[in-house]
Structure 1
């Protein structure tokens, strides 16, 4: 008897879900979507301006500087197949 091949279920690479997370200057990531003044802005680039400051550049060209006391809510895409806290 020949062994049967294992059937694998293909999952699309975009099988990610959107969650809401609280972010500060140390936890913000490139690709996060921030709500500022009721408008969504997606972070394109970040520049460190010292240990507790970052300049965020959005895809629309706007710039926001976060400092140690800035706390915002962000929408972040996560892969539900990975444990929390593991990098993508």
Structure 2
């Protein structure tokens, strides 16, 4: 009898974990759902405007400029299989 490899076990895909994080102009990421005035907006695109400033374009068409002192709450989708939970 020859060598027989062990049967492969199907591992179900892991669903992303939703985490609430505090973001500023330096830490905001595309795909974050930012809370502005009690409404959630998904960040679609970002443009750097200068030192510490970013213009966020949301999926619905609205635009928000974040300054170095702007702090917002956001919901972020994180993959639990990664060891680092902070953006690089």
Shorter-chain TM-score: which interval?
Answer: 0.7 to 0.9
CA contact (8 A) 2:43 2:58 kept: yes
Q: TM-score, normalised by structure 2?
A: 0.87
CA contact (8 A) 2:27 2:87 kept: no
Q: TM-score, normalised by structure 1?
A: 0.87
How many aligned residue pairs are there? 86
- Aligned partners of 1:77, 1:50: CA distance in 2, in Å? 27
Which segments of structure 1 move beyond 2 Å, counting only runs of 4 or more?
1-6, 8-12
Q: Which structure 2 residue ranges, 5 or more long, are not aligned?
A: none
Shift of 1:8: 3.0
Bigger radius of gyration among the two = 2
CA contact (8 A) 2:34 2:42 kept: yes
